[in-house]
Structure 1
């Protein structure tokens, strides 16, 4: 991609300016002098202005039409590099200011800073080549500089704190610690620059530590230039999901899905996939590779053909939707029958909701209204209703358990129209549980879709109602008398807790009012009469 001339030109000036500033900083640390300190401090405007020009040019480039995702990601990466170069410049000036404030700068051992500052300068000098050649190995070396600076920091930190014991010059040594912190933070800037370069090369935002997991899970050793990812999604927990094309042993190109993130989350996903492949083979994708690196991990899994149910509900034809629903209901019913055990299951929907209400109120503080009185009538707040419903729920366990998805949203279900098959993804919460957990999550994931046209809203209501009808029929056949009551609590939980992901105030209000209505209706049922409870499902899911 030919970058805008203003980006190239100002980035070149910025790198040259940083080279000069770090050279002066090295000389200053070798022999501190007020005149050189003044020269360094007076350079503040240069790097700042150049960084601003690079960022302005990048923004202008990103505003252009017909920009590919790779081009956009590259401009974002250059913007990140410019910001962190300016950060390194500011940290250098602040280090000088701390040294100048020390009355006895010999206590600071400034000559020891020559090596790390020189390292920073040499590392930054590698940036132009890394950008021009898209050399991921060089980008990695830039990131590795941080670990060398960390070692320097830890060693000098111990020296300063040791010198402080019994010293009469603790103020000077405190300035030493502050100087050390500024130099240490330069390593953070280099790490951010490394991540920006790697992200530009592989086509997806990536953290430095996670890059090694990526290389390992994709087979390593084949050359960094072969790694190209196409972003698919990013979960709320921070995991990134991408598509990648690989060559198998026969040299054929094979499509796969790469997912990386927190080690615990990815491990749970792996366990969930393996469990499904033993409990109900063919439903979950196959795991092609799994790797761990530090606190991160990555999965390479089979690419599944088809469309998500969300895409079909929103944009598919009526025929495609009806076919997908029929396949889904058949598959889910079959799973419930095959995995059923006689172990009772407690959903604890109200306990789940209670834990999530802080996040709901954080985004929608007006929902936390407190107890109110209307003409002498006491109106309990939502938290009070949740607590009361939790007490009712405690005595209403499901009479049996089935293996559930655990995060049964529309976008986690794929329908392959060619084979008319249903497949599941995002399985880190799968376990034996009350099937109402999945039913309620699925139904509300329909309503949560922020699509406003009436035709689509009617389809959404029908999909939710059809799932209810299928599950209610299963409950009758398997003698589950409190299904409807437990479903009500599950729906209240999902309606209320889902608002923490809905910014639109009107849509969130409709959802929270439904949750309140359901709770009030359920609590109005006399104890012991829960089996007779019914909700107006179609009304709840219609606008």
Structure 2
């Protein structure tokens, strides 16, 4: 961190010294409470705020000339977090004194227990400069570990105060304010944990929390044991909260593996999905190199697959490579469906899924709250009413067989290797036996919703959708699936409408919303028992 401006280094030093001084006064106050000591702490609010503001201003000036993918950018952002939480510790110290002022019987607070807690906070603050400027992740981790000690002390105080609630000699208000004091110190521990994660992120050049750091270091060592230093680069952050990073060889820039972490249940599902694909249809899914779990999180080290995502091919590939990728995908899917096909009927449940997501959609697009209206003397039902009616119809129409599906068949979850002319699947935590229309509809809409306005690219997307639909429909016809188009209409409606919660573009969202309504109306207009006769005008649906 030696390349940071002198003003940033100096102000961080002054800020750490200022917070330590205020905490020292607070420690002395609990040993010997006096008005003078309390005043010295309460009157120092402005200086800490000014130091934090100077650090933020200096970071903003530096960020203006730094690319987002530059490591210095993450360092400056981390420094902003450190400064913010240092000032927050000072604010919490003052707030604890305000609670103390309302306590009549000072002994109720159990003041003799607090100096040790304050020393833990001071210890963390004292390690910040070395951890940051010396790239010392060991000290950064030690700062985060102090949060656990402070949490333990807080729980002991909480237990003591709640026990004292039954003591008639103590004022309830004194106990309540004592609990508030303890809570301020618990929050100081949380700030130390945030500072620790910011320091680690700056040191390794990758935004992480402590759990992710431990998992990353453990899995990274598995690869480095075979020789060669590795660096980490973020690839993506999923909507489910997982992070995906590439581990690259520092010298060759070759990707050695992919690191994915997140909530333990999500990662466990991903692991199970990959394993199931290896058993059911080997070669499609990547290999799992290592698995690590810690507390409530878990991580996977996954084989890096050659090739590019289908999304990249659609947006950037040549016409020839796009056709080859689609042909390979269609062939692979048909083979998967054929090999995994069972005689068990499958329920799609598209309208039930949509009904559960409408509130989330309308939080992003409140204009989609469409009450029933009248037009030319006719009542037009709102979408909710249409969904409920279509759901009743859908429950009576199931797929005649089940196949093993991807479950989240978006264009960025499909990898095409042009050298081997092979397809691979990633992000497999939703894989299961299901109606294959689920994957067909998600794939089609994930192409349509790509936010690109270039005319030629939009035409390519339309042609791709038409060709993919033609291939899937041919499979349905060959295997006696007469209601394929009816169920696809509902699947597309669900995907069109629910996908708008990920799109802020009002014009694109509106087009998708209207397509969803049109498709639902078409299924309702189809007479019961004649679902096999429904035909979708695919060109009109996917043209712009």
Q: CA deviation at 1:111?
A: 2.4
Q: CA deviation at 1:358?
A: 1.1
Deviations 1:409-456 (A, max 9, x none): 000001111111111100000111111100000000011111111111
* Residue number in structure 2 paired with 1:373: 374
* Residue number in structure 2 paired with 1:293: 294
Distance 1:127 1:65 in 2: 24
Q: CA deviation at 1:505?
A: 1.4
Deviations 1:121-146 (A, max 9, x none): 11111111111222222111110101
Q: CA deviation at 1:214?
A: 2.3
* Residue number in structure 2 paired with 1:121: 122
Q: CA deviation at 1:273?
A: 0.5
Distance 2:254 2:169 in 1: 67
* Residue number in structure 2 paired with 1:233: 236
Q: CA deviation at 1:307?
A: 0.8
- Asked if structure 2 preserves the Cα contact closer than 8 Å seen for 1:514 and 1:540, the reply is yes
The 1:441–1:253 alpha-carbon spacing in structure 2 relative to 1, beyond 3 Å, is closer
Distance 1:135 1:463 in 2: 52
Residues 1:244 and 2:257 are matched in the alignment: no
Task: Output the TM-score relative to the length of structure 1.
Answer: 0.96
Q: Mean Cα displacement is larger for which, 155-164 or 297-306?
A: 155-164
- Asked if structure 2 preserves the Cα contact closer than 8 Å seen for 1:246 and 1:256, the reply is no
* Residue number in structure 2 paired with 1:135: 136
Q: CA deviation at 1:393?
A: 0.7
Q: CA deviation at 1:170?
A: 1.7
Structure 1 residue matching 2:334: 3-state secondary structure = helix
* Residue number in structure 1 paired with 2:408: 407
Distance 2:100 2:438 in 1: 61
* Residue number in structure 1 paired with 2:52: 51
Q: Please, which runs of 5 or more residues in structure 1 have no aligned partner?
A: none
Q: CA deviation at 1:216?
A: 2.8
* Residue number in structure 2 paired with 1:108: 109
Q: Mean Cα displacement is larger for which, 45-54 or 481-490?
A: 45-54
Q: CA deviation at 1:29?
A: 1.4
Give aligned pairs, total.
539
- Asked if structure 2 preserves the Cα contact closer than 8 Å seen for 1:260 and 1:298, the reply is yes
* Residue number in structure 1 paired with 2:64: 63
Task: Output the TM-score relative to the length of structure 2.
Answer: 0.96
Structure 1 residue matching 2:221: 3-state secondary structure = coil
The 1:358–1:167 alpha-carbon spacing in structure 2 relative to 1, beyond 3 Å, is farther
The 1:372–1:430 alpha-carbon spacing in structure 2 relative to 1, beyond 3 Å, is same
The 1:67–1:403 alpha-carbon spacing in structure 2 relative to 1, beyond 3 Å, is closer
Q: CA deviation at 1:217?
A: 2.8
The 1:65–1:198 alpha-carbon spacing in structure 2 relative to 1, beyond 3 Å, is closer
* Residue number in structure 2 paired with 1:273: 274
- Asked if structure 1 preserves the Cα contact closer than 8 Å seen for 2:164 and 2:170, the reply is no
How well do the aligned residues superpose, as a CA RMSD in angstroms? Answer: 1.9
Q: CA deviation at 1:183?
A: 1.1
Deviations 1:316-373 (A, max 9, x none): 1111111111111111111111111111111111111111111011111111112112
* Residue number in structure 1 paired with 2:536: 535
* Residue number in structure 2 paired with 1:23: 24
Q: CA deviation at 1:201?
A: 2.4
Distance 1:529 1:171 in 2: 72
The 1:66–1:189 alpha-carbon spacing in structure 2 relative to 1, beyond 3 Å, is closer
Structure 2 residue matching 1:256: 3-state secondary structure = strand
Alignment of 1:64-463 (within 5 A): 64-66=65-67, 68-165=69-166, 166-219=168-221, 228-245=231-248, 255-463=256-464
Q: Please, which runs of 5 or more residues in structure 2 have no aligned partner?
A: none
Q: CA deviation at 1:212?
A: 2.2
Distance 2:218 2:231 in 1: 14
Q: CA deviation at 1:215?
A: 2.6
Deviations 1:234-264 (A, max 9, x none): 00010000001379xxxx9861000000000
- Asked if structure 1 preserves the Cα contact closer than 8 Å seen for 2:246 and 2:255, the reply is no
Residues 1:14 and 2:15 are matched in the alignment: yes
Deviations 1:91-123 (A, max 9, x none): 001111111222221221222110010111111
Distance 1:174 1:527 in 2: 65
Q: CA deviation at 1:27?
A: 1.0
- Asked if structure 1 preserves the Cα contact closer than 8 Å seen for 2:89 and 2:191, the reply is yes
